[in-house]
Amino acid sequence: MPLTVVLHGPAGVGKTTLAKKWMVDWTQDNHAKTFNSTFYLSCKELNHKGECSFADLLSKNWPDLQDAVPEILTQAQKILFIIDGFEELRVPSEALIHDMCCDWQKQKPVPVLLGSLLKRKMLPKATLLITTRPGALRELGLLVEQPFFIEIEGFLELDRKAYFLKHFEEEAQALRAFDLMKSNAALFHLGSAPAVCWIVCTCMKLQMEKGEDPAPTCQTITSLFLHFLCSQFTSPPGSCPGPFLQVPVTALCLLAAEGIWTQTSMFDGEDLERLGVKESDFHPFLDKNILQKGKDCEGCYSFIHLSVQQFLAALFYVLEREEEEDGDSCRWDIGGVQKLLSKEERLKNPSLTHVGYFLFGLLNEKRAGELETTFGCQVSRKVKQELLEFRVKSNKNKRLSSVTDMKEVLYCLYESQEEQLVKNAMSYVKEISIHLTNTFEMMQSSFCLKHCENLQKISLQVEKGIFLENDTESELDAQVERSQCDHRSLPLWTDLCSVFSSNKNLSFLDVSQSFLSHSSVRILCEQITRVTCHLQKVVIKNISPSDAYRDLCLAFIGKKTLTHLILEGDVHTDKMLLLLLCEMLKHSRCNLQYLRLGSCCDAAQKWDDSSLALGINQSLRCLDLTASELLDEGVKLLCTTLRHPKCFLQKLSLENCHLTEACCKELSSTLIVNQRLTYLCLANNKLGDGGVKLLCEGLSYPECQLQTLVLWHCNITRRGCKLISKLLQGDSSLTNLDLGLNPIATGLWFLCEALKKPNCNLKYLGSSASKNVPGNTIGSK
């Protein structure tokens, strides 16, 4: 099969440069043995060409070949076509698939000709080298068959660092600037493009030369790009901004917005004429290298980088414009703010997402003032209300539990750096799920959460690599480098955790699947122990280091507000953890009502102190020991506590605790003595019919008040059903019974007979493959 190679990567990382280098190598005979002919086709430039034949398309840049084209095309297997910038093709989504042409002499629109080449309807034996941005990979994948993908990453971290060191005369300034860019993950990601590194260096170098601190500028991408733009046109002190800049900046922003919506980055004279702008308007920006003239396309213009175009497109929405003449806006292919922020549009055109981020960033009053001072133009404040109403208040009746949606909201609000806007936007949010993958996201989250006054529940997940203090597997082997990383992350973590003690409405904290460190856990515990922390429900699941469970339990001792606690994780061998839990339960200020220790304890001997604690504690109503290796011996110790007159437990789950018939006699006697216990789950234990017989003895006593019994997957057969049927026909208190996932076979008949009896109190019987008994989880309401 002919080879198809796809070079993909973000804007400005060198895909075009690499493709052109291939052309240069070919002209120097480096690849001449492989290919007789190589053609470079720029989608960006070809967008401006009308209908033509494929032969005309090839001879456009090589007129000397016009007569030779037919002969060249007969040897397609010796031809390389370089199709540069596939994402630039102006064509409706998926339209390329339905309109194909196999005749290279037939006149067709350029996208149809290129689509036919990609689909191999035309010159199927040719070799193809295609460059594209990631956003167009799906569309390209529908056209090409079995492509070989190569990701172009651009500047790696060491390359970026080397660039900074070369740009600045002083090494200290270069390293300071580089660290500031690295502290902003979004900005650092953009830095893979050399053009962005140039923008960042130019901006920060100018600030340092003036004796200014560049740190605030690097807080957001918007502030950096705005400062870069304004610094290129700063008026001398005491002078007014030149009125000549108002028209040019408006024209530039119009061009940028039109290009974003039409997914175009190169513009010709026809585009300018249609938009009603003049070439002379662009001179100030051409001089500053913000806009560039096309090297291979005369009379064409493009922006220095896609991110600059996105920023200027966002600026289009906030600049006050004079009343447009009739028909002006009709000539523009630019959507409104609501369309810009719609998920449907952003899926079709990923650049709109970044325009939205910049738009929120431009809502900042200080930045608006900087724009007005530099360009002498008016910034509209109306768009702020429009954004607030659509972006955030449109979700007022929805729970923002989607991590992806919430990340985007937090990004937008952080970009604005407007505290009042954040308060207004987050005023209705009561639940939030945050997945932290880097320190920049931590910064965004803490900034927004501090203004989320009505927040009641936080679900938090921290990825590996944010805290490196205990990360022995990290590539950063040097202790110094690890401490430097934590030096950046711990202050941000402290800021985030302060929400737990400063927000009086926050009552539920869930920290799951998280990689923490000793220092970060200590900071979390410090906030939890504060009097102003009003947490009532806490869930801790699968976190590291394992010592974190101990530290948190220590923090919970004497915590009067805490009523629900769930601890799950691979710490079943930690005896100290169980001792700390006992201390918590025995404390006079303990108000814990629900405790779940999923796979957190296993050895029976550890239950000596626990049994004592349960006898002293008078607040605990629900105990869930699911998946703990309690064994029969552990249950016997537990039953001693349950029979204590001061034990107030009402619900107990011993699901999957490796129990057998041997513990059922103790459980049976406990059901007679303890009249407060109304729920018992023994699911997924090998109790068998013998265990059922022993349980039924206790359940048959009038003193037994148990209402719900869960026995799914307990190896109960027809014989066990017969025993249960006899129990139900008596004066049993059971109202809910689950026998699902048991080989009961015809035993169901006995159960049905019992249900017919008038004195049977059973209201729900589960016997299918499911386990959906009302209240079958002791945490349900």
The more confidently predicted of residues 608 and 258 is: 258
Structure tokens at 694: 């022993």
Label residue 47 by pLDDT band (50, 70, 90): confident
Summarize the confidence of residues 250-255 as an average pLDDT.
Answer: 94
Measured between alpha carbons, how far is 506 from 404 in angstroms, rounded to an integer?
A: 22
User: Cβ distance 771 to 780 under 8 Å?
Assistant: no
Q: What is the largest CA-CA distance in the chain?
A: 106
Q: What is the pLDDT of residue 609?
A: 61
Whole-number pLDDT of residue 502: 94
Q: In this structure, which amino acid lies at residue 122? A: M
What's the pLDDT band for 778 if we cut at 50, 70, 90? very low
Decide if 515 contacts 467 (C-beta within 8 A). Answer: yes
Rounded to an integer, the average pLDDT of 677-689 is 97
Report the share of the chain in percent with pLDDT over 90. 60
pLDDT tier, 607 (very low <50, low <70, confident <90, very high otherwise):
low
| Predicted local confidence at residue 779, as pLDDT | 37
Q: Give residue 479's pLDDT.
A: 56
Q: Is the peptide bond before 134 cis (omega within 30 degrees of 0)?
A: no
Are the CB atoms for 443 and 414 separated by under 8 Å?
A: yes
On the question of pLDDT at 763 being above 50, the answer is yes
What is the per-residue pLDDT for 688?
A: 97
C-alpha pair distances (Å), 124 with each of 117, 128, 277: 7, 10, 43
The DSSP annotation for 392-447 comes to IGGGTTS-TT-HHHHHHHHHHHHHHT-HHHHHHHHTT--EEEEEE-SHHHHHHHHH
Question: Which pLDDT does position 323 carry in this prediction?
Answer: 59
Query: What is the pLDDT at residue 181?
Result: 96
Highest mean pLDDT (candidates 174-183, 277-286, 632-641): 174-183
Residue pair 635/668 in contact by the 8 Å Cβ criterion? no
pLDDT of residue 386: 82
Q: Is the pLDDT of residue 119 over 80?
A: yes
Give the type of residue at 209.
E
Q: What is the mean pLDDT of residues 84-109?
A: 78
Q: Average pLDDT over the chain, rounded to whole? A: 87
Would you call 42 helix, strand, or coil by DSSP? strand
- For residues 373 and 357, is the Cβ–Cβ distance under 8 A? no
Split at pLDDT 50, 70, 90, the class of 402 is: low
Confidence at 674, pLDDT banded by 50, 70, 90 = very high
**331 or 191: which leads in pLDDT:** 191
Give the residue with greater pLDDT, 679 vs 380. 679
pLDDT at 561 > cutoff 50: yes
Task: Please determine, for residue 766, whether its predicted confidence score (pLDDT) is greater than 50.
Answer: yes
Assign 653 a pLDDT band (cuts: 50, 70, 90). Answer: very high
Specify the pLDDT at position 399: 47
CA 506 → CA 399, 527, 605, distances in Å? 16, 13, 38
Mean pLDDT lowest for which of 294-298, 339-343, 670-674, 711-715? 294-298
Please tell me which residue, 604 or 610, carries the higher pLDDT value. Answer: 610
* pLDDT level of residue 770 (50, 70, 90 thresholds): very low
More confident residue, 478 or 593: 593
Rg (CA), the chain: 35
Average pLDDT over residues 42-57: 86
What is the pLDDT at residue 773? Answer: 45
- pLDDT higher than threshold 80 for residue 1: no
**Average pLDDT score over residue span 579-591:** 92
Stretch 157-163: mean pLDDT, rounded? 96
Return the higher-pLDDT residue of 529 and 71: 529
pLDDT number for residue 96: 62
Residue 780 pLDDT level (bands cut at 50, 70, 90): very low
Q: How confident is the model at residue 589 (pLDDT cuts 50, 70, 90)?
A: very high
HSE, CB side, 13 Å, CA atoms: give it for residue 61.
12
Q: What are phi and psi of 128, to 5 degrees?
A: -120, 135
pLDDT at position 544: 93
Other beta carbons less than 10 A from residue 315's beta carbon? 27
Cα 510 to chain centroid distance, Å, stands at 17
Cα dihedral 360, 364, 370, 376, rounded to 10, equals: 70
pLDDT average, residue stretch 665-685: 96
Q: Is the pLDDT of residue 397 over 50?
A: no
Span 518-527, average pLDDT: 96
Would you say 635 and 661 are in contact if contact means Cβ atoms under 8 Å apart? no
